[in-house]
A = this chain, B = another copy of it.
Amino acid sequence: MKTATIVGAGLAGSLWAVYLAKAGYNVTIFERRSDIRLAEIQAGKSINLALSHRGWEALRAVGVDHHVNELAIPMTGRIMHSATGELTAQPYGQEGQAIYSVSRGGLNAKMMDVAEKEFGATINYNMQCTGGNLEEGIVYLTNKLTGEHSEHQSDLVFGCDGAYSALRYKAFQKLDRFNYSQEFVEDGYKEFLIPANADGSYKLDKNALHIWPRGRFMLIALANEDGSFTCTLFMPFEGDENAFDKINTKAEIEAFFETRFPDFYEMCPNVVEQWGTHPLSSLAIMRCYPWTSGKAALMGDAAHATVPFYGQGMNASLEDCHTMGKLMEEHDHDWEAIFKAYQADRKPNGDAVQELSKHNYLVMRDFVADPQFLLQKKFENRIQELYPEKYIALYSMVSFSSIPYAEAWKKGQEQDVYMKDLMQQHDIESLMKEGKVDDLIHRIFKDKLVSN
């Protein structure tokens, strides 16, 4: 039986453990934190992430999606909150399509349970990776409770230790000709909790992702299972106004929320207290290549961490597992071939998910409040309803399909040019009002060939 070591029992590491254990590998995981399953219960709160098609497919492939169903709250669209409190809804896709608010801890804990109990993987907590020898398949470790140093050797090593991966920093980055970049964006984020009503009900529609788009900054909210919402404020660290460095006193914090996010402010009366106690965090895009060397590979955020504006970081990480799993079968456990195919397939998609994420920041901050953008979305939705095999909007390609990110990004850019052009040539708004837009769509798309 082959042995495999996974560094990091986060979202990628815990699912990848299931894949490997299921395929018969002897899996050992080293995780820096203490057991998340105990920690979660103690803290009594969870942070939710948007899980979409690619993530579900990766879970489904090893038959663990049903465990996650229970945790998942469908979000069928965005609800935009204007500065005066008006709401505008916008569906994400077609009838029945949704992305899902899922507890990060819940999903993580479930995968660890399955890997451990169903397939006999071993998880070691409080074990921090401090480096590795990629050729030999060795990881160096420090026990965070005892300070003891040790090393662990195996046939395969997977660095699933997140955006600040120690395996990447301490081993890959020292390889000759290893390309690497860490790029911090100008914005940071701070999380806030909108509590549930006294009766446990939600203060906002739980089946939507809420956005307060404000141009250079924005607030978003996703429902948690317990009736609360986890909200995230994205804003520049420094600036003339509406920047983290300009909002410090109680009066400044209150004024900021009262004027910019009045409806949120009402639902979150202790925002000043939360501002003071919740950390201000930074956001980075990490790029590197190669992703594999000797007996080791990087997966998930360790290989391609991105900014969270498309809600695809975890989905891309889970899709890494899905792809590596398929390649494992295709190449019949010949790991030299698997690693080669893995990085050739996934690197362009990692780059693309980063481009998509940067692009969607503009969409969320700006465009969703722009009537032209909303009109285009509506028009695209209608095209997609009438000719689903001939037109898939970018958001749908990314969130509701398995079309490789790189292909989606390329096609999405082409489509955007095409759409803008169509909208210049035709007064879509009037056509919609007059109920004539379908005629136009039929005229254009009826005889159009499927583009791919």
Contact = CB atoms under 8 A, between A and B. Distances in A.
Interface string A143-181: 000000000000000000000000001000100111111
- How many of these chains are in the complex? 2
Contact of A182 (B169, B181, B183): B181
A167 to B, nearest CB: 15
Contact of A180 (B177, B178, B181): B181
Nearest to A185: B177
B176 A183 contact: no
A282 interface: yes
B182 A179 contact: yes
A184 interface: yes
A367 interface: no
Contact of A237 (B177, B178, B181, B184): B177
A284 B179 CA distance: 9
B181 A177 contact: no
Interface string A278-294: 00001010000000000
A284 to B, nearest CB: 8
Interface string A250-284: 00000000000000000000000000000000101
A282 B176 contact: yes
A220 to B, nearest CB: 22
Contacts of A181: 179-183
A182 B178 CA distance: 8
Given A176-B184, A180-B181, 16 more contacts: A173-B182, A176-B282, A177-B184, A177-B237, A177-B282, A177-B284, A178-B182, A178-B184, A179-B181, A179-B182, A179-B183, A179-B184, A180-B182, A181-B181, A181-B182, A181-B183
Q: Give the top 5 A-B pairs by smallest Cβ distance, nearest first.
A: A181-B181, A177-B184, A177-B282, A180-B182, A176-B282
